[in-house]
Every structure is written in structure tokens, then in C-alpha cells.
């Protein structure tokens, strides 16, 4: 649907986006995730043809979008965009939603019906005559979505649409996006700095870091097989360890890290330096009792140095010569009687460790 090739944008001397290559497929929900200031907004603005790239090309449905303002306007009118901070015009909700139709010269007789069905889609039927500036943030954002959807765009772009909203409004908007995608087959491209949200909604995601697209893939790829340390940290991989492969028996490698060693599934030959990525959910904590047998290959004894409560979960840091971080439920923490200084065993299955050979 949208193909981006070699796209860059500079502001003065600074590169905001560098050499972005990306393909958005028709009908998918694609999420751009990345920390604030990584270039997500800039990329979305370029795709909506609001700004001009310094270099590179964007193809919309096979058509090169570089051209006169008229060409760009015609392509822009096949998309809809929702901004992080919803801007409504100081008039009624119905008139706000009708703008896209008015600009396109739609038949005035059809406008009220189309506005009503757009408002119905976002669950704001009956709000037609309300003044848009009196709505709450979540309602304004839904008006912004209705306003973008009323023209039935092929692509809907959303720039951190829920960044300023409360959890209830956020959930409403997330459900709405799924409904739009499945009912109207609109291709949706949205950015977020909230990985969990990306995970809930997206078919595929792209991680953007310092203006570069660091990784594109399915959720599983990005969460369990991150490319490199920065992506890993951003997607919540807490334990990142560097070591050297000692032996490798039919794909089961032994990696030495400090005084400990880890068994991992990786094709790397002995002598190779590798980085291990371990998600905290994959680490389990138990009290050592000596006798218990288990299929878990990696068991390290250590003492707890830090406990951070995250509501229903607790993030436990275990010092096993190197810090290993585990995420366990608050209830099991209580049952095991864990506290700082407790000696525990941290276990990780060999298959749960993602290994990347260092270049």
C-alpha cells in the first residue's frame, strides 16, 4: 500500500530521519514504536505528505508521491490522519466531522448522513450539535477519528493517538481501531511509545531509534528476537549478558559469562562472542532445596538485591555474579517469602534465551 525507500529528513544540520525503507501492506495494522523524539511523528507527517523529505521516495499504492501540490493533495485525500493532540475547530461536532467532505466538494445532501455514520462508528451519536471545544480529551480524539474516517480513507495514520488519554479512553480508541480495521479494511499505521499498546493492536511493528528503523517484524520477532541492545532494552528485555561460546553440541551451546555458564540454543561456534537476551517473564525464581530435578537447563544461585513492585507483579533482581532480572507475581513473591538478601535459584530454559553473535 505504502512503500518507502531511502527516506531521510534533515532539520538544519540534524538528521531527524535517516534512510528509512519500509513497506506497509494493504489492510494491516502497522505500529511504529520508539522512544519520544525518535522520529515517529516526522515519519508520519512525511507519509501524510504534510512535509517534504530531504531525500528518498514514498510510493502510495504504487504511485510516486513526489510532484506538484495538486498531485500531493489528490493522494493526501486518500488518507486520514489523527494527531497526538486533537485540534478541533471552534464549531459544532457535526461541522468538525464534515470538513473533509466539504473540502472534497461532497454532495451537501449526503453530508449529514455520512457525518452521522462516522459519529456512530466512534460511539458519539447524539453529539452532533455539541460545541467541539467543550468535549473531553478522549471525546475530542474520537471526533478526530470520525473526522478522518468520514471520507473513507484507504489509509488511516495516527500519531500517538492515546498518549494524552486516561486508560478508559485509551481502551475505547484501541477497540475502535481494531473495529475500523476489521470492518472497513482500512490500512492503519500508528505510532506509540507504549510497547504494550503496540503489542495489543499491531499485526506488524517497526522499531524506530534515533531516526533509523532498527527492526521491522512481527510482535514475536521484536519481543523475543530483538536486533541489538537498544531495541531489546526498549521492548523490555531486562537481562542482557555478553559471553563467549565454549562448546557447541548440535546447536546447544554453552556460553561462559563470568564464573557461570548458560546453555542456549544457537548455532554459534566455540570462541564466538555472543550477547544473550533474557526477558524477565522467562525467568522463574525458586527456593533452593537441592533434590528437585527439572528440565530447565540454566539454574543459577544468587541473592536478591532489589524488589520493585509493579502492582500485580514484582520485578526481582538476583545477583548471580551478574544481575538476572525476573518478573513474578506479587502473590508468589509473598508465598516464597522473598526479601532482599534471600538466597534463591533463578531458572531459565535454554530455548527462552535469545542469542545474537556479536559482529
Q: Which is nearer to another protein, 78 or 210 (CB)?
A: 78
Do 283 and 304 form a contact (C-beta atoms < 8 A)?
Answer: no
Q: Which is nearer to another protein, 81 or 274 (CB)?
A: 81
CB of 134 to another protein, least distance (A): 5
Coil, strand or helix at 215? strand
Q: Which is nearer to another protein, 40 or 297 (CB)?
A: 40
Q: Which is nearer to another protein, 91 or 294 (CB)?
A: 91
CB of 147 to another protein, least distance (A): 7
CB of 204 to another protein, least distance (A): 24
Q: Which is nearer to another protein, 97 or 326 (CB)?
A: 97
CB of 45 to another protein, least distance (A): 8
State how far the alpha carbon of 205 is from the alpha carbons of 32, 95, 192, 300, 302, in Å. Answer: 6, 35, 10, 34, 36
Q: Which is nearer to another protein, 135 or 177 (CB)?
A: 135
Question: What's the CA gap between 158 and 154, in Å, rounded?
Answer: 13
Question: What's the CA gap between 89 and 114, in Å, rounded?
Answer: 19
Write a three-state SS string for 100-137.
Answer: HHHHCCCCCCCHHHHHHHHHHHCCCCCCCCCEHHHCCH
CB of 81 to another protein, least distance (A): 4
One-character DSSP codes across 12-29: TTEEEEEEEEEEEPTT-E
Q: Which is nearer to another protein, 98 or 264 (CB)?
A: 98
CB of 100 to another protein, least distance (A): 4
Strand order of the sheet with strand 155-159?
79-82, 155-159, 187-192, 29-33, 204-209, 212-218
Question: What's the CA gap between 292 and 353, in Å, rounded?
Answer: 22
Q: Which is nearer to another protein, 73 or 125 (CB)?
A: 73
In this structure, what is the dihedral angle of CA atoms 149, 154, 159, 165, given to the nearest 10 degrees?
Answer: 30
Q: What are phi and psi of 260, to 5 degrees?
A: -100, 170
Q: Which residues bind another protein (CB under 8 A)?
A: 48, 50, 69, 73, 76-77, 79-81, 83, 85, 87, 89-90, 99-100, 103-104, 131, 133-134, 136-137, 144, 147-148, 151
CB of 265 to another protein, least distance (A): 47
Residue where the block lists cell 517473564: 281
Q: Which is nearer to another protein, 101 or 316 (CB)?
A: 101
CB of 91 to another protein, least distance (A): 8
CB of 4 to another protein, least distance (A): 18
Amino acid at each position: 500500500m505504502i512503500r518507502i525507500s531511502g527516506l531521510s529528513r534533515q532539520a538544519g544540520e540534524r538528521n531527524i530521519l535517516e534512510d528509512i525503507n519500509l513497506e506497509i501492506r494493504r489492510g494491516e495494522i502497522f505500529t511504529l514504536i520508539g522512544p519520544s523524539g525518535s522520529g515517529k511523528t516526522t515519519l508520519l507527517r512525511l507519509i501524510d505528505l504534510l512535509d517534504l523529505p530531504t531525500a528518498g521516495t514514498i510510493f502510495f499504492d504504487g504511485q510516486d508521491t513526489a510532484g506538484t501540490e495538486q498531485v500531493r493533495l489528490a493522494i493526501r485525500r486518500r488518507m486520514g490522519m489523527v494527531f497526538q493532540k486533537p485540534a478541533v475547530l471552534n464549531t459544532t461536532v457535526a461541522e468538525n466531522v464534515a470538513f473533509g467532505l466539504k473540502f472534497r466538494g461532497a454532495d451537501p445532501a449526503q453530508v449529514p448522513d455520512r457525518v452521522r455514520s462516522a459519529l456512530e462508528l466512534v460511539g458519539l451519536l447524539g453529539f452532533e450539535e455539541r460545541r467541539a471545544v467543550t468535549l473531553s480529551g478522549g471525546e475530542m480524539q474520537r471526533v478526530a477519528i470520525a473526522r478522518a474516517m468520514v471520507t473513507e480513507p484507504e489509509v488511516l495514520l495516527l500519531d500517538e493517538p492515546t498518549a494524552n488519554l486516561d486508560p478508559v479512553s485509551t481502551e475505547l480508541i484501541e477497540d475502535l481501531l481494531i473495529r475500523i480495521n476489521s470492518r472497513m479494511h482500512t490500512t492503519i499505521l500508528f505510532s506509540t511509545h507504549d510497547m504494550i499498546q503496540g503489542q495489543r493492536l499491531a499485526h506488524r511493528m517497526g522499531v524506530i531509534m534515533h531516526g533509523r528503523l532498527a527492526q521491522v517484524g512481527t510482535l514475536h520477532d521484536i519481543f523475543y528476537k530483538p536486533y541489538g541492545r537498544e531495541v531489546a532494552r526498549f521492548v523490555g528485555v531486562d537481562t542482557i549478558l555478553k559471553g563467549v561460546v565454549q562448546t557447541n553440541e548440535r546447536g546447544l551451546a554453552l556460553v561462559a559469562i563470568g564464573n557461570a555458564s548458560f546453555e542456549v540454543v544457537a548455532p554459534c561456534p566455540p570462541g564466538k562472542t555472543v550477547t544473550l537476551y533474557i526477558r524477565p517473564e522467562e525467568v522463574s525464581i525458586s527456593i533452593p532445596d537441592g533434590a528437585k530435578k527439572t528440565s530447565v537447563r540454566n539454574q543459577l544461585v544468587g541473592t536478591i538485591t532489589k524488589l520493585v513492585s509493579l502492582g500485580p507483579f514484582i520485578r526481582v533482581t538476583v545477583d548471580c555474579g551478574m544481575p538476572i532480572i525476573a518478573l513474578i507475581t506479587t502473590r508468589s513473591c509473598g508465598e516464597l517469602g522473598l526479601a532482599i538478601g534471600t538466597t534463591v535459584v533463578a531458572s531459565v530454559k535454554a530455548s527462552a534465551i535469545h542469542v545474537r553473535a556479536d559482529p
